[in-house]
Amino acid sequence: MKIVVCFKAVPDFDQVVDADWEHFDLSGGLEYVKRVFGCFDESALETALRLRSAWEAGGEKTECAALTAAPLPAPLCKTLFAAGFDRVLDLSGPFTGESPALSAEFRPRRIAAVLGSCLGPGEYDLILTGRQAGYADTGTVPLLLAEALGIPVLTGVEEILPCAGGIEVWRTTETGRERLRVRLPLLAALGNSPVSALRAVTLSARMAASRRNAERPAFPSDTTPPFNGQDGGQKMPDSGEPPRFSRENRHKVCRFLPAGGDLARSVAELREEYLRGREG
């Protein structure tokens, strides 16, 4: 059994100072912000390790790999090895040196093409991803990747358990939760899952992984890996206007209510004043 998790290291936006949010764009420097696993990707990573433990307990040899097409900081790479992944593959090479307006962050078709070129049809039995990741949160990469590989895809997955002949999947739909028993191969995109975090790694495991590095498959510098027989790269001119980001300004106001007065009346007056301010 072979499992691969497609993930992305994203900036921890809680660390971005307010002044930078006021003038934040793709060319803005966020080098001081720590990069972390996307929250849904982290669920997928931990789910893969739990599935491997369950299958190996039943006597089935299982390999776990982690795959990314975004820049991968060395500490996160070591964390994956220390947590128990057999292989870590960094496919960010095709995007190295691109201008901000051509950032891979906003090119889901090309990301799916790069991932699909590495995976190949039939290479892995189970492919896991997070529901969405990154600035744009489009959530389209899992769907495009499944199309490129020609395999079924399930979205809104909450939990995956092994069962005879395949896996048992709990997922959220528009009408509620459902349980499915499906055969492999399959691509599953995890959303709100009870498996919400990657396991903590021990110091000894991290030290044992200190000399292990991600594999970096080479791609031709002047071409884009094919997407379902077509060019997966979106033609975006360098002069195009990049997306702009901002965070809503929120001003906190504290007001003390008069002591000894009618509390209910004071609250009602304060509420009316607040609503008038919003309408104005």
Rounded-to-integer distance, Cα 152 and Cα 169, Å: 13
Of the given ranges (149-163, 168-182, 239-253), which has the lowest mean pLDDT?
A: 239-253
What does the pLDDT read at residue 258? Answer: 73
**Range list of β-strands (E), the chain:** 2-6, 9-11, 24-25, 35-37, 63-68, 87-90, 126-130, 153-163, 166-173, 176-182, 186-190, 226-227, 230-231, 244-245
Find, among 179, 150, 221, 201, the residue nearest to 45 by Cα. 201
The answer as to whether 118 is a domain residue is yes
pLDDT in tens, 232-261: 443 433 334 445 555 555 666 677 777 776
Higher pLDDT among residues 204 and 105, named by residue: 204
Q: What is the pLDDT of residue 121?
A: 78
Q: Is residue 63 part of a domain?
A: yes
| Distance in angstroms (rounded) separating the CA atoms of residues 209 and 84 | 10
Mean pLDDT for 77-84 is 95
Specify if 113 maps to a domain.
Answer: yes
Please state, in angstroms and rounded to a whole number, the distance separating the CA atoms of residues 250 and 14. 15
- How far apart CA 48 and CA 188 sit, in angstroms, is 11
Q: What is the CA radius of gyration of the chain?
A: 23
Residues 6+ apart with CB under 8 A from 169: 154, 157, 159, 160, 179, 180, 181, 182, 188
Q: Which two tokens stand for residue 136?
A: 């744009």
Kindly state whether residue 238 falls inside one of the protein's structural domains: yes
CATH number, residue 106: 3.40.50.620
Whose structure tokens read 């607040």? 274
Residue 99 lies in a domain: yes
Residue 269 lies in a domain: no
Does 205 score more than 50 pLDDT? yes
**Total domains, the chain:** 1
Q: Quick check: is 252 in a domain? A: no
Give residue 229's pLDDT band: very low, low, confident or very high (50, 70, 90). Answer: very low
| Owning domain of residue 132 | 2-245
- Give the global pTM: 0.75
Q: How confident is the model at residue 128 (pLDDT cuts 50, 70, 90)?
A: very high
**Does residue 262 lie within any of the structural domains?**
no
Per-residue confidence at 65, pLDDT binned at 50, 70, 90? very high
Averaged pLDDT score across all residues of the chain? 80
